[in-house]
């Protein structure tokens, strides 16, 4: 039986009120299993990043329910004041820009969150080096982001997202700044991570070339989640 990693029920997001009310998401309901790589797609401005940020406990929904693993984190309100703690412990974020801290080394960037979570410097560095070896960039451990290529920086950002051993990885347009070959490499890498680490990976993308690499495609159209297509 599949184990659910993300489940949302009747999720609604509006901005503003009265005459200035803007409806963004109207009643989204879906689930994502551990080990799945799912593409979230929609026209520009249609709410895909907003939906991703609600799942990631960054953007507060207007109403609805969110489960992350076995934990209900939102039920018409946040069920904990420690949403930052949920993000640190359960979720790894990857963005279009790598957002590495420029004055830190690659190793220091990857160990930052685990050390913030109380993991010792020795243990966090050991785990980080294993990740960097996994991504074939361990030789860049003492380099800064300015000394790396765009593709290498994105690998480091993925390693950083995995450093806290998350249950969920949320990636917002992770391939937008890369050419086709590097984009394919990154998405294949995310698929491998989903399977190897048994985590749910959600990528926001408008690049149809990436769809065949994903297990499913969730589409938003006219504020609704209109389909989930299973790739055979």
List the domain boundaries for the chain: 34-56+87-230
Q: What is the pLDDT of residue 47?
A: 85
Residue pair 125/111 in contact (Cβ under 8 Å)? The answer is: yes
CA distances, 70 to each of 54, 67, 75, 90, 204 (Å)? 17, 7, 14, 12, 24
State pTM to two decimals: 0.85
Q: What is the CATH number of domain 34-56+87-230?
A: 3.40.50.300
CB atoms within 10 A of CB 72: 14
User: One digit per residue, pLDDT tens: the chain, 232 residues?
Assistant: 568 899 999 999 999 888 888 889 999 999 999 999 999 988 777 788 899 999 999 999 999 999 999 899 999 999 988 898 888 888 988 887 678 889 999 999 999 888 888 889 999 999 999 889 888 889 999 999 899 988 888 888 888 888 888 889 999 888 777 778 878 888 888 898 899 889 999 999 888 888 899 999 999 888 888 777 766 5
Strands (E), the chain: 4-15, 22-33, 37-41, 63-68, 71-75, 91-95, 168-172, 200-204, 216-221, 224-230
3-state per-residue secondary structure call for 23-52: EEEEEEEEEEECCCEEEEECCCCCCHHHHH
């Amino acid at each position: 039986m599949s184990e659910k990693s993300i489940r949302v029920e009747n999720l609604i997001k509006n901005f503003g009120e009265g005459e200035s009310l803007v409806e963004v998401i109207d009643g989204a309901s879906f689930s994502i299993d551990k080990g799945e790589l799912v593409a979230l797609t929609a026209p520009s401005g249609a709410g895909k990043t907003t939906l991703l940020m609600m799942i990631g406990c960054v953007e507060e929904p207007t109403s609805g329910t969110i489960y992350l693993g076995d934990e209900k984190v939102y039920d018409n309100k946040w069920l904990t004041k420690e949403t930052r703690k949920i993000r640190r412990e359960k979720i790894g974020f990857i963005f279009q820009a790598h957002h590495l801290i420029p004055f830190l080394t690659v190793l220091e960037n990857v160990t930052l969150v685990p050390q913030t979570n109380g993991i010792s410097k020795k243990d966090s560095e050991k785990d980080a080096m294993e990740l960097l070896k996994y991504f074939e960039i361990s030789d860049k451990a003492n380099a800064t982001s300015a000394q790396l290529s765009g593709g290498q920086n994105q690998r480091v950002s993925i390693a950083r997202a995995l450093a806290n051993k998350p249950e969920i990885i949320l990636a917002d347009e992770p391939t937008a700044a890369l050419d086709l070959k590097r984009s394919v490499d990154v998405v294949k890498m995310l698929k491998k991570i989903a399977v190897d680490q048994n985590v749910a990976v959600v990528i926001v993308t408008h690049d149809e070339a990436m769809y065949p690499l994903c297990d499913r495609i969730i589409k938003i159209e006219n504020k609704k989640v209109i389909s989930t297509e299973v790739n055979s």
